[in-house]
Chains A and B, each alone.
Chain A
């Protein structure tokens, strides 16, 4: 594999507007239930002050994708750029990948009885475009990046956030810039 594409999510910039979540739905007209991308709110207890802080997560295109390992029909393939692509034509709906992914990102589509997930808009990437979620992010909190040592050595780049499974499980291709809290004058 020559490289590993992934997401860099900046929780300092993200205001949890959920535009990415719906832009993803809009791009592929996804049915209601599978949520390829989802915005999560961090627990306020994880911070020194109460807060509304978020991260946005789709498939993490893991370096060690459990979905790919367990899938009996080879519906998952990993491209040279590291994108883990799920081919619904191959999927038989055994749901094993949904049990194996710690991020719950492959999800069953109850109507189609097949699993679906984010394929990192690989067709758009192949056309030189940004993924739909990244293109839709108004505060510029979501970026498509190459996951490598240079990125990891940058100050402030984190491999995980509170409330996320250990990255050791699947080596997800997502990095974070942690939330920053301002000063608060509170009445409690």
Chain B
């Protein structure tokens, strides 16, 4: 069985939230005017903060963090090298977004202060909005590739529980779910009800997908001795049931309730939901590492 890998748990979950936010912003920005500039700003800041935290956390995993830069050396076959590269590129793309958000603030301030809006300004705004979408898009794609690379690190022939589509799928679903929920929290006063509903529906989709895939994944595990050991560990661990409650069942109930009763504006519920889902994902990630059982020498010591 694996260990409590706090640096890795924090790195992956925080990194996935950060990228999830950007992806959600990009999505909301598909119709240019729909993404509130304030939300864009907030999203970019929070995403960047989380990304920095995630990268810092990852250093604690290393025996020698001072030499972390060397991890870029083996792009030819190491997914860890690729992951680091893609995360760094994502961070570069984020810096661009950050710059953009600074400029956008000032332009909007000028626009708001002026009594009339000139056509030139409209054109400039449109240009800016187009750049913004492109920036968000590039960051999202790089980030998603980074997350996929993160997941691919664990696709090890030695670890049957990981040697499948599971890691990629679950990492992306975490990105989708927590990205959407945190965006909802950030935009609780800035999002249109329709956007909120859309994000909630998306979250519901992610949760259902996560649960469904997990069931399929778990049923596949017993195919190998080591996978069965992982499954046994999971089913007998109270942590797993806490994760199921916090990360799947409670969010499902809340989401269905919120959508059914059109209570999209209930901020407290959304906060609760985000917190529960976040905890569920952190536990889920901890279990991901804890339950890993490698194929190994079974002879006596």
Contacts and interface: CB of A to CB of B under 8 A. Distances in A.
Direct contact of A and B (CB under 8 A): yes
Interface in B64-103: 64-65, 67-68, 70-74, 77-81, 84
Interface in B157-190: 157-159
A38 B67 CA distance: 30
B300 interface: yes
B118 interface: no
Nearest to A70: B78
B106 interface: no
Interface string B38-74: 0000000000000000000000011111011011111
Interface in A123-163: 161-163
Interface in A143-188: 161-166, 169-170
Contacts of B77: 68-70
B299 A163 contact: yes
A73 B71 contact: yes
A85 to B, nearest CB: 15
A55 B153 CA distance: 31
B153 A96 contact: yes
Contacts of A92: 62-65, 67-68, 70-71
A95 B80 CA distance: 11
A163 B80 contact: no
Q: Which of A43, A68, A92, A114 has the most CB of B within 10 A?
A: A92
B297 interface: yes
B294 interface: yes
B80 A72 contact: yes
A94 B71 contact: yes
Given A93-B64, A94-B80, A96-B80, A73 B294 contact: no
Contacts of B67: 73, 92
**Interface size classification for chain B:** 20 to 34
Given A92-B64, A93-B62, A169-B157, A72 B74 contact: yes
A64 B301 CA distance: 25
A17 to B, nearest CB: 15
Interface residues of A, number: 40
B119 interface: no
Given A40-B299, A96-B153, A114 B63 contact: yes
Contacts of B157: 66, 102, 169-170
A161 to B, nearest CB: 8
A38 B300 CA distance: 11
B76 to A, nearest CB: 9
Interface in A85-110: 90-96, 99-104, 108
A102 B297 CA distance: 7
Nearest to A90: B70
B300 A72 contact: no
A165 B296 contact: yes
Interface in B100-156: 153, 156
B63 A108 contact: yes
A73 B73 CA distance: 5
A99 B65 CA distance: 19
Q: Which of A74, A101, A166 has the most CB of B within 10 A?
A: A74
A74 B74 contact: yes
B246 to A, nearest CB: 27
Interface of B: 61-65, 67-68, 70-74, 77-81, 84, 153, 156-159, 292, 294-301
Interface of A: 38, 40-43, 55, 57, 66, 68-74, 90-96, 99-104, 108, 112-114, 161-166, 169-170
Q: Which 3 A-B pairs have the closest CB atoms?
A: A93-B63, A113-B63, A163-B299
14 contacts: A42-B300, A70-B77, A72-B80, A73-B73, A90-B70, A96-B80, A99-B294, A103-B297, A108-B63, A114-B63, A114-B64, A163-B297, A164-B298, A166-B295
